[in-house]
Structure 1
Amino acid sequence: MFAWSRKVGGDLMVSAGSAVLRENLEVRAPIFQGLQVIVSLNSRLKGGVDGYAPFDIEESGAYFVLCTGEHDGLDRFEANVLQRHVRIGIDADVAERSGFSLDLVARSGGRRLHSQEVLVLHQPLTSALRAAAMQILYCPFKDGAVRDLFLGAKGMELAAAALARPLAQCPGAGDALPAGEVQRLWRARDLLIARAHEPPSLPELAREAGLNAKKLTAGFRRLFGMSVFEYLQQHRLEEAYRMLSSGGCTVTQVAAHVGYAVAHFSTVFRRRFGISPRDLLR
């Protein structure tokens, strides 16, 4: 049973752990800002971001976490289960310089576990990933410059192995969105969230963000992996879950806050989370 974390070369955070917990463990901590590549060899836990609905991590695989700004993370580890993982944290600027475009990572395939301000993606575990993760987990060097050199090289190798296929298969991988357009799309997304209770029309949103409706529609899907309407609906429901789970509000109040009639709200909420709003309040 062990866990360790180390900053390598000033640019890379490498951490790893292997444990079987006697009791359930809840860990709350700020989320690393930039790109994280997490290889789960064995895990059973729930992850969460900023109080939104938790998501399950119950299978081996590569998990990509893209975070800008300050956000709070939650991990709830299950007892009596072997938990083994390796985590690589790469600063956003370093990731871009290393060829790991965050725009392309955001548009890559895989299962989306969370896609609000922080994006969490899951990809299957490959033999190359497993091998690189095991070499980091059981690093043969105990300390000093040689250990740092080994972990730095293996950390970048693991990140490259995890991202190579998703980035190669990403639509438009050879034709990334221009930086100015990405900035305007993020502005559109921020405007959408700020006015989620009374959202602007698509032409209004495009005009305020400095885009035309066609570029907004196509670019938004490329950057965020879903349409403007789908993103808005997901944000509303995630916000509703956070409010209901925090207590202090009725279902009617929450539905009104996120812009739904109560009957329709209950239907879409159950479809999204598998539980009714009233059951969550209990």
Structure 2
Amino acid sequence: MRLALQQILHCPYQGVTKQIYLESKILELLALMVEQEIEFQQGKSPIPPLKLDDLDRIHQAQKILLQRLNNPPSLIDLARQVGLNDYALKRGFQQVFGKTVFGYLHDYRLEQAQQLLATSEMKVTEVADAIGFDSRSYFAAAFRKKFGVSPKAYQMQCKIH
């Protein structure tokens, strides 16, 4: 839920695209709240909340990842840098962001690529390099899987509008 809220607060779009994006994020929040309520009604115990110190360390890990998009540390190195063991980092990251550490990084890179393709004059290969993808074909496949269109086609659509 926090991730969806952060995405709402930092919406990268304008106009109609912004409206659609925000509406979809609100629906995502509603779905997460309904899921949480169903789990509560079924008596499933919620995950114990993180200590404030651990929460700060999880956010510190996120900042390190985002600063090192092109060359992220290994999970164990990242955990050491923030003073957690790798299990606590994995569990806490999942709890805070709803994704694994590297799932979060992967999605963030693709969202950055989407913004660069829409707003810059960079070529697809330059965007892939800028966000840390070594393989253009892997980047194209990952982008297509996440957004349903190839990076080049997305860039062309943005230039038309």
Considering the TM-score relative to the shorter chain, is it more than 0.5? yes
Rounded to whole Å, the distance in 2 between the matches of 1:245 and 1:209 is: 34
Rounded to whole Å, the distance in 1 between the matches of 2:151 and 2:143 is: 7
CA pair 164-75 structure 1, distance change in 2 beyond 3 A: farther
Equivalent residue number for residue 155 of structure 2: 281
What is the letter of the counterpart of residue 241 of structure 1? Q
CA pair 257-201 structure 1, distance change in 2 beyond 3 A: same
Bigger radius of gyration: 1
CA pair 166-238 structure 1, distance change in 2 beyond 3 A: farther
Question: 122, 131, 154: which is aligned to 2:29?
Answer: 122
**More strand by percentage:** 1
Structure 1: where are the runs of 5+ without partners? 1-34, 36-63, 78-112, 125-160
CA pair 235-174 structure 1, distance change in 2 beyond 3 A: closer
Q: Is 1:220 matched up with 2:127? A: no
Rounded to whole Å, the distance in 2 between the matches of 1:167 and 1:216 is: 24
Equivalent residue number for residue 257 of structure 1: 130
Question: 11, 16, 21: which is aligned to 1:76?
Answer: 16
Q: Per-residue deviation at 1:209?
A: 1.1
> 1:76 aligns to what SS in structure 2?
helix
Residues 80-108 of structure 1: CA distance to partner in whole angstroms, max 9, x if unpaired? xxxxxxxxxxxxxxxxxxxxxxxxxxxxx
Q: Is 1:168 matched up with 2:51? A: no
The answer to whether the 8 Å contact 1:66/1:120 transfers is no
Residues 50-98 of structure 1: CA distance to partner in whole angstroms, max 9, x if unpaired? xxxxxxxxxxxxxx95249x73564628xxxxxxxxxxxxxxxxxxxxx
Rounded to whole Å, the distance in 2 between the matches of 1:237 and 1:228 is: 15
**More helix by percentage:** 2
Q: Is 1:66 matched up with 2:5? A: yes
Equivalent residue number for residue 116 of structure 2: 243
Residues 18-57 of structure 1: CA distance to partner in whole angstroms, max 9, x if unpaired? xxxxxxxxxxxxxxxxx8xxxxxxxxxxxxxxxxxxxxxx
How many percent of aligned residue pairs carry the same amino acid? Answer: 31
- 1:1-282 equivalence runs, <5 A: 66-67=5-6, 71-72=10-11, 74=14, 76=16, 121-123=28-30, 165=37, 168=40, 173=46, 175-260=48-133, 261-282=135-156
Q: TM-score by structure 1 length?
A: 0.45
Rounded to whole Å, the distance in 2 between the matches of 1:234 and 1:256 is: 16
Report the count of equivalent residues: 144
Q: TM-score by structure 2 length?
A: 0.75
Rounded to whole Å, the distance in 1 between the matches of 2:45 and 2:126 is: 42
Rounded to whole Å, the distance in 2 between the matches of 1:171 and 1:210 is: 31
Query: What's the Cα RMSD here?
Result: 3.2
Q: Per-residue deviation at 1:251?
A: 0.4
Structure 2: where are the runs of 5+ without partners? 18-23, 157-161
CA pair 199-222 structure 1, distance change in 2 beyond 3 A: same
The answer to whether the 8 Å contact 2:57/2:84 transfers is yes
Rounded to whole Å, the distance in 1 between the matches of 2:15 and 2:40 is: 31
What is the letter of the counterpart of residue 29 of structure 2? H
Rounded to whole Å, the distance in 1 between the matches of 2:129 and 2:45 is: 39
